[in-house]
Structure 1
Amino acid sequence: MALKYYQLDAAQVLAQLHTQKTGLSQTEAATRLQATGPNKLSDHKQTSLLTKFILQFKDLMIIILMIAAFVALLAGEGSDAIIIFLVIILNAVFGVFQEAKAENAIAALQKMTTPRSRVLRDQTVQVIDSEDLVPGDVVLLEAGDIIPADVYFLEANALKVEEAALTGESVPVEKQASPLPAKDIPLAEQTNLGFMNTNVTYGTAQAVVVETGMATQVGQIAKMLTEVDQTVTPLQKNISHLSKVLSVLILVIAAFIFAFGTLTGRESPLDMLLTAISLAVAAIPEGLPAIVTITLALGTQKMAKKHALIRKLPAVETLGATQIIASDKTGTLTQNKMTVEQFYTDGQLKPAAQLKFQADSKLALAMLLANDSQQTPTGLVGDPTETALIQHFLGQTGFDWDKVCAAYPRTASLPFDSDRKLMSVQTGELLLTKGAPDELLRRANFIEEAGQVTPLTKAKRQELAKVNKQLADQALRVLGFAYKKLAPADQLNLEAEQDLIFVGLIGMIDPERPEVKAAVAEAKQAGIRPLMITGDHMDTARAIAIR
């Protein structure tokens, strides 16, 4: 976006877009749609299969082979001509097949756009096709929604957006509805903006559309993907050089043979011409393009089985010249899925796999119920941290999340916010709280261990602080859990988050992919230097690198 909307406040953004908080009228929206076009990634101009096939013959070596085939045919060498033509056609077919396959995969990016959006039109909430959104439209968002365009948040209520696909941040970003004064802010830190095709994992928002279609951040990525890279690979350079050298040598030698034989009178000019042509045909390495094409095609197919997409056959050879591999961390080196790694409860720190819960455990209830994840037909929806807590229990045989939720219905809640760093829910006379361990311990005066509640002593606080640091030093994201029994007349409010009973800590991380360690070792053995690129904290990156 040329205009840095993140520097403006809501009134300035609305004025810049000539709209208002109640949205556009249908008439104005239709006019803008005519001017800006639909809110979708523009279709890349597809080259027909015939054109792709013809373009395969522009290589100099292929041109020389075609000339040689025609000459061989004229000279009566029909079998040689047929073999050369088959080699040329085989080369073209392999090239067309691979390029078409890659373009189909790239085109899949266009299917990511959410199909419908809730928008304010004529001061009423309407559900429209996302393609019909225009700059100035006001959209309504909630947990589970995909942001349909680049937007500026007019209101943000405990809003978190998962932007890993765009920025590489594995943890959802807390969003706000206020201007950012800095002049130049990285994309990942533009917290008052939302970007097309990122996911709302928590909270609700009202936002105004600032960019649509190819003008969005994901649109710029799509544009880069569809641009044809004209870079010549080392193999192409070498073959081109070899073709030129061979062409010159063959022509010089053929001309010399023709001139020498004609001038010395040993043969007639016609016989010497046929001799020179035969020599030229024999000197051309017609098997070279076939060998190169088949070798590259086999390499491409082998990589395709490992889910690596190759658009052009010569790109396979270019990988052989690789000296440095720079890889994004989130979703590439890691699984982009938060996972529970360790627990601290009952005075013991244990791996997650070793700890089993009873359904009425206060720690289990806090993890399950102080949680806004939702079960949908397609799976869990919500903040990745919260869904990871549910997934841990779903992995335990016989554990029924729905049954626990039915037995302990939520009667009130205090959403997480960045100031207190806590979330609390009330179920009957039970208050359950989760959040940052340091904030939680400030409000806790008791601790439950082995079913017994005792005062939280200074020594025990120091022990908990030590465990918290130990987990954090392993680059784990640490959450604390506590509970409290309320009196029948008590109401859930901020004052209720005092005198809590501490029950445990958990450490979570976005784990590395199982195949990464072997891949990095293999790259190093091949003399390639692997680099990890991430926006995460240095300690987190170091922990992933060490693992």
Structure 2
Amino acid sequence: MESNWHLSTVDETLSTLGAKREGLNAGEVQQRLSEYGRNSIPQPKSKTLMGIFLHQFLDPLIYVLIGAAIISVVTGDTTDAIFITAIIVINAILGTYQEWQAENSAQALRNLVKVRSRVKRDNGIHEVDSEELVPGDIVLLESGVKVPADIRLIESHDLTVEEALLTGESEAVHKHTDKLNGNGNIALGDRVNMAFAATTVQKGRGVGVITGTAAHTEIGQIADSLRQTSGEKPPLVQRMESFSKKISIIVLVVCVILGVIGYLEGMPPKEIFFLMVAVGVSAIPEGLPVALTVALSIGTRRMAKRNVIVRKLPAVEGLGSCTMIASDKTGTLTMDQQSVKQLYLPDGQYYEVSGQGYNGDGQILADGQPVTLDGQPDAEMSTFLLAAIMANEGILRKTGDGWEHSGDAVDVALRALSYKVGKDPKFFKAQAEVVEIIPYESERKFSAVFYKREGGQYFAMKGAVEIVLEKLGPTARDKVNEVAEKMAADGYRVLALAGSPATQTDLKQLPDLQLLGLIGMIDPLREEAKTAVKNCRDAGIEVVMVTGDHPATALSIARSLGLAESAEEVISGVELSSIDKLTPKELAEKIKAKKVFARVAPLQKQKIVEAMKSLGHFVAVTGDGANDAPALKSAHIGVAMGSGTDLAKEASSIIVTDNNFASIEAGVEEGRFTFDNLRKIIYLLISTGAAELLTVALSLFLNVPLPFIAVQLLWLNLVTNGIQDIALAFEKGDPQVMHKPPRKPDESIFDKRMNSQIIVSALTIAGVVFGVWLYLMKQPGFNERHGRTVVMMLMVLLQNFHVLNCRSETKSLFRIPLRNNWVLILGIVCAQLLHVSAAYIPGLNSTLQLEPIRMREWLLLLPAAASVLLVMELYKLIIHRKEVS
């Protein structure tokens, strides 16, 4: 179906659609319903509880554990199978609970286009469900209604439409019906003779013919692109998949090598198989899935306290991995509330206006002193405010619990000035009587009023500076234009207010007007946004702005944020369309130095994301409108705003409830805290697992009895160590985490530091355990079961001490306050008590082949186990000295 309806006249559009101004008849409607289908956008299926539960098993490490459980069943070792199965199910339940909660938190209204509409049909006006609308229907629009389909306007009476959810522009668009000149590259926000599905009429009335329904609307095309776009895997998922594959291969190779050695030493096939199972059990970190899920769940709860809802658990860490944030402007970096910040009156006086947003808080300041209208009021300010309030249809009033507003954003912002000089707008309304008001229309670019006061009649108009200048006397124009240009250069949207006495109400017979004042407005920055952007950049994260606003407006905001300095760092959607056919990599070369992307169309935003990814960035994208949804889904981490559309939320992994960029920065910080804790957990599990593997391998090489049997290794990995690794997830974050660069996108979890500390700690633990095992075997009357009980206790004690090492990879444990993680201290105590108790519990002690240990033996093992603390403290000291030298 044709999409360039804005380039056609009204008559051409009606002719092409086979429509007429009086509307379709019932037969035509039915025929078109059959041809085009109902006007509804297919919604993605909601996730079921069972679907979320089953999704928890789609993890390579879980596959390995399931394989181990199956092998255990085949070999008749049901105890091992029960242990492994229990841990898999617990992990799935924890993950399901967290994601189900997040999914419920993210639920919102899904009726973007399902509304009732007034339509001309069968020579009358009828109200129908929007799903029954068809191309060619004549629809009536009025203030407050949601546009039900894409419409070419054929009548417009002061029609203003809020299109932010589709275009990203903060200002409502004034509509007209004239054909536009140009080509198909005209941005959506500039197609002022069209109204688009899911946008809202702010004020005025209009009539239009439907040009597209359902998937043929602009929002429908966005929804369709979402279905065709595959979501990007979060960094943690990518890293853990890589880790799981590597550890599976390593374990398989080690098992085969040890099996071959056993065969060459004459071991029976069944013993060889059980040996391989024992090695596999010791090497595979069975407790890791649960520990990761718990760590991510803790990160989720911490993020929720900072206004960030996580829909998908791996995304908790994802924000901390990002190297670039592509942020929307309106409502995220700014307040999305027009505010008057500067005034210029004819006497040459500039006034600064404090406060921001749609409220009366703040003051008008002249040379730093508040302006009031009591006592001897400023005559020019009184005249200015009277005209501004009279030529005004907005509403702003104080209520019991705040401020209530409605109407045009400019009118509301001007009414706020009245409160800022200590007067209710009624104060001015009482001084004059409206004779005739002329509402704003985009064709005129001004609004005006004729009013009477003190026996005389006056006229006042406010609007675009270039329009008001034409009504001023010739001598005033140059000066006013000069001041207006200066205010515009400072980033203000400038309006002019002018007036004069008027003996009649004919606009064509007005005398030259006199300037009453220039108004500098801005959608103000969120106070915390600049600091948040700086913190992200200090953390090595590039921040770019992607917006539908005008390039000049976007650059002004970017300068205030410290994002950009010059126009060379800005690129517009029109410029992007000229390089539309470039590959993502070619596009990336063109835009890699750009910091501001203005007047950007929805699919262009998605291409920007793909280009940045091709440069090697891990990209987080923020947005709230339907226009942002494709980019949100394409990004590594999609961050939707809480007030945004359902399409945006559905495409995202994270939702920021307060729409604030500062919360995104907080999410980055929490993400980095979470990843650090995940590293601590992995460090603990891999180092202790490697120590167990080394101990078993040494026993095999030296042809001595194994110090552990398979079920004992499972007990160590899943129960005693499992309590401690989960407790590590509660560790408080390092305050310096936002002063470090982000991890490289291709960086493995196992970097140089991780590998070296695993090797040192694993060798230490294995050396101590195997040394004690050899010592016990040489004692007269050696009892193998009691000997295994002793080395099992030693391994538990070593884990108890080693978990303290894992609290930091760089800091001495003596420099980390215990108050940072009381849960860990409790976990160490519980792990020790649980293991001691296992030796006394009937059934469990026989399964684990344990027996009670004497207090004297426990006390002798304590200093041996503490040796791992001494070794790792020396290791950290040596590494620190190397790094600073």
Q: Is TM more than 0.5 here?
A: yes
Structure 1 residue 516: Cα displacement: 1.3
- Rate the CA distance shift 1:507–1:335 in 2: closer, same or farther, 3 A: same
Task: Note the 1:28-39 alignment, pairs <5 A.
Answer: 28-39=28-39
Which of 439, 442, 445 is equivalent to 1:415? 439
Q: Distance in 2 between matches of 1:414 and 1:132?
A: 37
Partner residue in 2 for 1:136: 136
8 Å Cα contact 2:158/2:204 also seen in 1 = yes
Moved more, 502-511 or 231-240: 231-240
Partner of 2:332, secondary structure, is: helix
Give, as a single letter, the amino acid of the residue that structure 1 aligns with 2:314. P
Task: Note the 1:309-320 alignment, pairs <5 A.
Answer: 309-320=309-320
- Rate the CA distance shift 1:157–1:26 in 2: closer, same or farther, 3 A: same
Partner of 2:297, secondary structure, is: helix
Structure 1 residue 150: Cα displacement: 1.0
Q: Distance in 1 between matches of 2:200 and 2:115?
A: 14
Partner residue in 2 for 1:453: none
Partner of 1:127, secondary structure, is: strand
- Rate the CA distance shift 1:168–1:418 in 2: closer, same or farther, 3 A: same
Task: Note the 1:187-206 alignment, pairs <5 A.
Answer: 187-206=188-207
- Runs of 5+ in structure 1 lacking a partner? 446-456
Give, as a single letter, the amino acid of the residue that structure 2 aligns with 1:432. A
Partner residue in 1 for 2:598: none
Partner residue in 2 for 1:465: 481
8 Å Cα contact 1:109/1:222 also seen in 2 = no
Partner residue in 2 for 1:475: 491
Partner residue in 2 for 1:219: 220
Structure 1 residue 41: Cα displacement: 3.0
- Rate the CA distance shift 1:104–1:393 in 2: closer, same or farther, 3 A: farther
Partner residue in 1 for 2:382: 361
Give, as a single letter, the amino acid of the residue that structure 1 aligns with 2:189. A
- Rate the CA distance shift 1:358–1:305 in 2: closer, same or farther, 3 A: same
Task: Note the 1:83-482 alignment, pairs <5 A.
Answer: 84-97=84-97, 99-100=99-100, 108=108, 110-113=110-113, 115-184=115-184, 185-225=186-226, 229-262=230-263, 264-266=265-267, 268-345=268-345, 346-353=347-354, 354-355=363-364, 356=371, 358=373, 361-373=382-394, 379-393=404-418, 399-401=424-426, 404-405=428-429, 408-418=432-442, 420-428=444-452, 429-444=457-472, 458=475, 463-482=479-498
Partner of 2:520, secondary structure, is: strand
Give, as a single letter, the amino acid of the residue that structure 2 aligns with 1:504. G
Moved more, 373-382 or 476-485: 373-382
8 Å Cα contact 1:168/1:331 also seen in 2 = no
2:542 is aligned with 1:541: no
- Rate the CA distance shift 1:259–1:442 in 2: closer, same or farther, 3 A: closer
Structure 1 residue 417: Cα displacement: 4.2
Structure 1 residue 523: Cα displacement: 1.4
- Rate the CA distance shift 1:525–1:180 in 2: closer, same or farther, 3 A: same
Which of 504, 515, 521 is equivalent to 2:528? 515
8 Å Cα contact 1:66/1:84 also seen in 2 = yes
Partner of 2:298, secondary structure, is: helix
Q: Distance in 2 between matches of 1:78 and 1:343?
A: 81
8 Å Cα contact 1:71/1:281 also seen in 2 = no
Partner of 2:249, secondary structure, is: helix
Q: Distance in 1 between matches of 2:469 and 2:151?
A: 38
Structure 1 residue 151: Cα displacement: 0.7
Describe the superposition over 1:242-282 as per-residue Cα deviations: whole angstroms up to 9, x where unpaired.
Answer: 3233223323333444454355434x433332232222122
Give, as a single letter, the amino acid of the residue that structure 2 aligns with 1:386. D
8 Å Cα contact 1:144/1:381 also seen in 2 = no
Structure 1 residue 328: Cα displacement: 2.4
8 Å Cα contact 1:153/1:192 also seen in 2 = yes
Give, as a single letter, the amino acid of the residue that structure 2 aligns with 1:166. L
- Rate the CA distance shift 1:228–1:119 in 2: closer, same or farther, 3 A: same
Q: TM-score, normalised by structure 1?
A: 0.85
Describe the superposition over 1:38-62 as per-residue Cα deviations: whole angstroms up to 9, x where unpaired.
Answer: 4333221234221221122122210
Q: Distance in 1 between matches of 2:235 and 2:257?
A: 33
Partner of 1:126, secondary structure, is: strand
Structure 1 residue 533: Cα displacement: 2.3
Give, as a single letter, the amino acid of the residue that structure 2 aligns with 1:510. D
Moved more, 434-443 or 255-264: 255-264
8 Å Cα contact 2:160/2:204 also seen in 1 = yes
Partner of 2:434, secondary structure, is: coil
Q: Distance in 1 between matches of 2:322 and 2:2?
A: 35
Partner residue in 1 for 2:586: none
Partner of 1:279, secondary structure, is: helix
Describe the superposition over 1:108-140 as per-residue Cα deviations: whole angstroms up to 9, x where unpaired.
Answer: 362344632222122222233333322211112
Partner of 2:326, secondary structure, is: strand
8 Å Cα contact 1:474/1:540 also seen in 2 = no
Structure 1 residue 104: Cα displacement: 5.3
Q: TM-score, normalised by structure 2?
A: 0.55
Structure 1 residue 524: Cα displacement: 0.7
The total of aligned residue pairs comes to 530
- Rate the CA distance shift 1:47–1:461 in 2: closer, same or farther, 3 A: closer
Q: Distance in 1 between matches of 2:128 and 2:351?
A: 50
8 Å Cα contact 1:201/1:384 also seen in 2 = no
8 Å Cα contact 1:358/1:364 also seen in 2 = no
- Rate the CA distance shift 1:483–1:44 in 2: closer, same or farther, 3 A: same
Partner of 1:136, secondary structure, is: coil
Structure 1 residue 230: Cα displacement: 4.6
Structure 1 residue 441: Cα displacement: 4.2
Q: Distance in 2 between matches of 1:191 and 1:390?
A: 27
Moved more, 220-229 or 113-122: 220-229
8 Å Cα contact 2:143/2:204 also seen in 1 = yes
Q: Distance in 1 between matches of 2:419 and 2:137?
A: 40
8 Å Cα contact 1:423/1:434 also seen in 2 = yes
Moved more, 200-209 or 519-528: 200-209
RMSD over aligned Cα atoms:
3.3
Give, as a single letter, the amino acid of the residue that structure 1 aligns with 2:546. I
Partner residue in 2 for 1:454: none
Moved more, 349-358 or 116-125: 349-358
Moved more, 29-38 or 329-338: 29-38
**Bigger proportion of residues as helix:** 2
Q: Distance in 1 between matches of 2:82 and 2:416?
A: 62
Give, as a single letter, the amino acid of the residue that structure 2 aligns with 1:474. D
Describe the superposition over 1:334-373 as per-residue Cα deviations: whole angstroms up to 9, x where unpaired.
Answer: 2222111111235311112332565993322222221233
**Bigger proportion of residues as strand:** 1
8 Å Cα contact 1:324/1:529 also seen in 2 = yes
Structure 1 residue 520: Cα displacement: 0.8
8 Å Cα contact 1:365/1:432 also seen in 2 = no
Q: Distance in 1 between matches of 2:211 and 2:88?
A: 51
Q: Distance in 1 between matches of 2:219 and 2:559?
A: 32
Partner of 1:443, secondary structure, is: coil
8 Å Cα contact 2:40/2:114 also seen in 1 = no
8 Å Cα contact 1:156/1:206 also seen in 2 = yes
- Rate the CA distance shift 1:364–1:284 in 2: closer, same or farther, 3 A: same
Q: Distance in 2 between matches of 1:368 and 1:168?
A: 29
Describe the superposition over 1:70-97 as per-residue Cα deviations: whole angstroms up to 9, x where unpaired.
Answer: 5456778777655544543344345445
